[in-house]
Amino acid sequence: MSFTPGFQSHESLESIVRSAYTQIQTPDLSLYSQIPLHKVSGLPSAEETICLLCQKSKSNTGDVPGLSSTLYSFQLRSVCKMYEKESMTLRQCVPHFVEFTSPTGSRYFFNTLENTFNSNPELYVVPKGGILAENMGLGKTLICLALICLSKHEISSIPHDIILEEPPKGTDIGSFKMKPLKTLAEIALSSIAQNSLPWKYFAQDLPSAIVQKLKKLPGVFFVSREPVQSNLGLRVRNATALKPSILKLVLTSSTLVIVPENLLHQWNDETKKHVRVEFLRKLFISDRFKNLMHYENGDYMRDPPQDPILLVSYDVVVISAPLFSKLCADPSTVFMKIYWKRLIIDEGHSMSSRSSNLSLSCKLIHAERRWVVTGTPTSGLTNLHVDEGVPEAVTESPKKRRKYTVKGKFNVREDLNKLGNLVSNYFKIEPFYSQPSLWGSSITKNLTNSNQFTAKISLQTLLNSLMVRHTQLQVEADLVLPQLHHEAVSLKPSYQNKLAINLFTSVLAVNAVSSERVGGDYMFDPMNRQQLQKLVSNLQLSTFYWTGFQILDVKSLLNVANSCLEKLTPSGEAYYNPEDRRLLVSSIHAVKEALCNPRWRAAASLHEMQLYVTNLPKPYVDNFAIGSINDIGVFGAPQLHAIQKFFYKNRFISSNDESVLASRLRESSKAFWKDYWVRSEKTQNRKFSKPEAFLEFDAPEEKRKNDVFEKQIICKQSVSTRETDSVALASHSTFKNILDKPYHLKDQINPKRARILGTASSKLSYLASKLTGHQKDGVKSIVFFEYEDSAYYLTELLDVLGIKYILYATFVEVEKRPNNLNDFASHSTETQGGITLIMDLKLASHSLTVIAATRVYFMNPVWQRSVEAQAIKRAHRIGQTKEVFVETLVLRGTLEEEIYRRRIDDGYDLEARDVKGGETFEKKYVIDDTGMQNFVLRHEFLSVDKEVQEHADFSETVVGEDLADNSQDKSILNASNAPQFSLPSHSSDLLAAEGRIHRAWNMRLFSADNLQKFNESRQSKPNLEQLNVEFVEGKHQPTDVHINAGSSRKRVRF
């Protein structure tokens, strides 16, 4: 007899799943506090161990054997809950059976698949493990290490719920050959091994000979080998499947930890920091370790031991995920021959795909206990709550908060599929493991039909059985992080910023008018979504700096605008309406403004960030400048690198010996420009890569053709896309003659007085000012970037100024990235001053810990706020002892300001999903949002004042807490005050303007910092072997390079 209950619900699928996430039970250990604690003799049971730890937690002495660090109470509760899950064998109803209680008190179970009632349910064994889903920055790695230390002596046991195979004939165990009778000692040793008795707990009391025999004779058992899933051809797969195979598995106390390559260094550092020396035997396996390395903290190698007994002699084996997947492609790999006590997947959201190499490999691994470690196992469990308070203007003062959170919508079905893959493929929970499609029919499907109520209960029960997770309130009861300050800094666009942004506005405006806003030529036509997305992305990039327009393309745009403006109706009237004609006139004005500016033409040809220098002798300008304005020379970073190199190598030439100086300058510049043009032609179509060596030149990625012009959406006439910049074939002298007015400098001056006034980018000047101050004040900072070109221009300028930085980006070799993080963490601010970490935002969400930084900068507003929050968590997390200051740079009056306004609107969700015509569209990009489309369609031009200077000064707004750090050495404000044998340093003045205090910097072209960096660049780069030594031991920092900011600066003798 069947019965369909009348449970009806109008809840959306998303609200049901979100509700299930928010109701996940947090670790409750109150039961253990009620158990009386007796003195334990011998090996304590799991219950006694948890009781003891709970007692320690109450007295705030949460010490775990083997750890050198004390855990927070919530961390200790997580460890105890994980240990409890591992130690108990529990059975629960399968999720499609829901328990009910009748009015008489009897229990019955409803089968949601068959719509039947049952007296007894189907049960499944709760896995010994689960998902450690604590939020970002709460010490999940330390929690795992505590669990490993706590259960160090326990050995995996032969499972009781699988079919064991007889040993194959011909092996020692299965042979019928007569053997001598075993001695009592041998029988005892075999019994200990086969029954997984924790003999290691008593190892110190046993004779060394017995310990050695126990190590060499682990327990074993035999099972049928599972069929291997792979991408091999059908014939190969069938041939493999036909081969019967018996697999011998070795019992062990070892834990296998699989981590992303970029987190290998973090596990290495955390073990050194938190685990007592020699308490655990550790092995780290990665492709980067070409040779075997033995160190106090562990062994490091690329090729794991092929003998399982050697491999299980380690307490913990940490291997990079890419190498693990590659090794597991061979079914006979040593990892498949061990019944691991515990398998841990760090950053387990990588397991969400059923067909990924890592997912397939982990499915074949035999392990008694399985854990996934991730703060974001699914999008809905990211659990980043918005705590922004009331909306504020971009220019208002920063808010202070201890947590930074985001509530964003998520793809519910995708979330459930990820969870289903973990349940079936990784945890192997029946019946989903043997029937993978059952997850969709029993959970996902029922959440949307009449069985919604029971399916919700089933999902909630399953989540509670897997998740180990605390709420934010519970964490804050034990842990209060230092204050977090987040501020949007509104910057006035520079002259060159305005030219670039207005050109983009002109492109869109002329396109709208000429296409009459219809058809395939219209940029906002659905067919052109990809081109529009790229154009708006380039518009965002132009708020930093943009040189991607070719002069010929801009001239073509001008011709189209003029043609439209002159177009008449048959009656002789203007063809377009007054508003469209206004857009055309504004576009023509913006285009002419750019074409008539020599510096813009130079930037469009050379694609260099323009740096404005004063007080530089005329011979230097004549030979290296790419432009000039009266007494200001305009240079690119490669040109200034060449000048600095020349100056340092020829510093003993008297400034009065003009003929010798001029001759050497001509020779040096001739060689430079010859090499410059060759490099430019080679690199203009190649992907951007930042040069490692100072004074090397490698041009940034050239965005040679905007999609608008490539597809001739705007320009109807034929324009050759093969034309190259004629300037690349011209000599430097010819180039300067057609671009600029003569350079005027009244008197002969000392080159050491040369100053860099600013750059063509407001954001670059501001960041350089901030980072220069941080280096002087001994502050570590992080700069996050989304666009490689921006990072390139920033690093170029920092090289020119001599400001220390470290790169962490996709174009940095994978082997070098961990070393870069280690260098940043170990950099001594007391002896070397501050340093900045320039990090790709794409890599900022990979569980990295960068708590050494207290200043964080975003080059632009981040569209996806969850990504921004994860980036901030790199610095604002457990271990941070100082307040963290975050700044998002916003260019005033531009698309960025609109993005930020919409971000701080509490009632608006940037990551929401629009529903149009029954289809769902995710707002992954800025242009996907209707409000942002409306802003772009307004075609607002920035006003350009010709009388204003072209460069953006090196200045910054100073907040109250920074005033105390602004002491300066007045004796070095002018080069004339400094001794003749020394170089001046960058210095600053405090100025009051617009009701705020500003810090204005005097940036020296030739400075002590720059000379030091010049000398460092000439040193040889470390090879992989040296990098590996630094990876393991840390980098030894010099102690006499830099004097702390509070002392007078060290003079550099010529």
What are the structural domains of the chain?
A: 491-555+588-715+728-953 (3.40.50.300)
Q: Is the pLDDT of residue 391 over 50?
A: no
User: What pLDDT is stored for residue 591 in this prediction?
Assistant: 94
Q: Is the pLDDT of residue 726 over 80?
A: no
pLDDT of residue 62: 61
Provide the pLDDT for residue 879.
Answer: 75
On the question of pLDDT at 915 being above 60, the answer is no
Banded pLDDT at 720 (limits 50, 70, 90): very low
Structure tokens at 219: 């327990």
Whole-prediction pTM value?
A: 0.81
Give the pLDDT of residue 317: 97
Q: Does the pLDDT at position 972 exceed 70?
A: no
Residue 1046: pLDDT over 60? no
Which spans in 383-494 are helix H?
A: 412-421, 438-439, 452-466, 472-478
Question: For residue range 795-841, what is the model confidence (pLDDT) as tens digits?
Answer: 999 999 999 999 998 888 888 888 888 888 888 888 888 999 999 98
Which residue is associated with the tokens 């998002």? 888
Tell me which of 393 and 90 has the higher pLDDT. Answer: 90
List pLDDT tens digits, range 565-584.
898 888 888 888 999 999 99
Asked whether residue 689 carries a pLDDT value surpassing 80, the answer given is no
Burial 679-698 (b: 16+ CB within 10 A, else e): ebeebbeeebbbbeebeebb
Task: Determine which of 115-129, 134-148, 862-876, 972-986 has the lowest per-residue pLDDT on average.
Answer: 972-986
Higher pLDDT, 485 or 750: 485
Report the distance separating Cα 887 and Cα 841, nearest Å.
Answer: 15
Q: Evaluate if residue 918 carries a pLDDT over 50.
A: no
Give the mean model confidence (pLDDT) for residues 879-901: 87
CA distance 928 to 1050: 54
- CB-side neighbour CA atoms (13 Å) of 420: 22
Residue 4 has pLDDT above 50, yes or no: no
**Could you give the CA distance from residue 52 to residue 54 in angstroms, rounded to a whole number?**
5
Of 397 and 190, more confident: 190
What one-letter code names the amino acid at 223?
V
Provide the pLDDT confidence category of residue 683 given band limits of 50, 70 and 90. Answer: low
Q: Which of 38-42, 587-591, 905-909 has the highest mean pLDDT?
A: 587-591
Please tell me the predicted confidence (pLDDT) of residue 721. Answer: 31
CB 324 within 8 A of CB 851: no
Q: What do you get for the CA distance between the two ends of the chain, in Å?
A: 99
Average pLDDT on 982-986 reads 81
Question: In which band, very low, low, confident or very high, does the pLDDT at 454 lie, cut at 50, 70 and 90?
Answer: confident
d(CA 822, CA 50): 36
Higher pLDDT, 971 or 344: 344
* pLDDT tens per residue, range 182-202: 888 889 999 999 999 999 988
**Which residues make beta-bridge pairs with 992?**
997
State yes or no: pLDDT of 790 exceeds 90: yes
Q: CA 542 → CA 207, 538, 782, 857, 867, distances in Å? A: 73, 6, 22, 18, 22
Instruction: Give the pLDDT score at 358.
Output: 84
**Residue of higher predicted confidence among 179 and 962:** 179
Q: What does the pLDDT read at residue 663? A: 86
Range with the largest mean pLDDT of 3-17, 725-739, 870-884:
870-884
Task: Give me the amino acid identity at 882.
Answer: K
Tell me which of 84-88, 153-157, 243-247, 250-254 is least confident. Answer: 243-247
Residue 179: its pLDDT value, please?
A: 64
Where is 993: in which H helix or E strand?
strand 987-993
User: How much is the pLDDT for 684?
Assistant: 59
What is the structure's pLDDT at 174? Answer: 46
Cβ proximity of 141 and 272 under 8 Å: no
Question: pLDDT tens for residues 840-882?
Answer: 988 876 667 788 888 999 999 887 777 888 888 888 887 788 8
The per-residue pLDDT for range 305-345, each reduced to its tens digit, is: 999 999 999 999 999 999 999 999 888 899 999 999 999 99
Q: What is the mean pLDDT of residues 273-301?
A: 91
Is residue 704 over pLDDT 50? Answer: no
Give the residue-averaged pLDDT of 437-453.
77
pLDDT in tens, 337-370: 999 999 999 876 666 667 678 888 888 899 999 9
Q: Mean pLDDT in the chain? A: 78
Alpha carbons 327 and 304: distance in angstroms, whole number: 10
Output the six-digit token pair for 792: 């390139």
Which of 39-43, 643-647, 945-949 is the most confident on average?
643-647
Query: Does the structure show a pLDDT above 60 at 429?
Result: yes
Mean pLDDT throughout 540-550? Answer: 90
Q: Which of 1025, 819, 1036 is nearest to 293 (CA)?
A: 1025
Q: pLDDT category, 432, cuts 50, 70, 90?
A: confident
Res 1018 pLDDT > 80:
no
pLDDT in tens, 514-524: 888 888 888 88
Taking phi over 0 as left and psi of -120 to 50 as alpha, with beta for the rest, 537 belongs to alpha
pLDDT classification of 125: cutoffs 50, 70, 90: confident
Q: What is the pLDDT of residue 530?
A: 83
Q: Which of 257, 269, 258, 318 is nearest to 297 (CA)?
A: 269
pLDDT at 1039 over 60: no
C-alpha 255/C-alpha 371 separation (Å) is 11
- Helix ranges restricted to H, 23-155: 30-33, 46-58, 73-87, 140-150
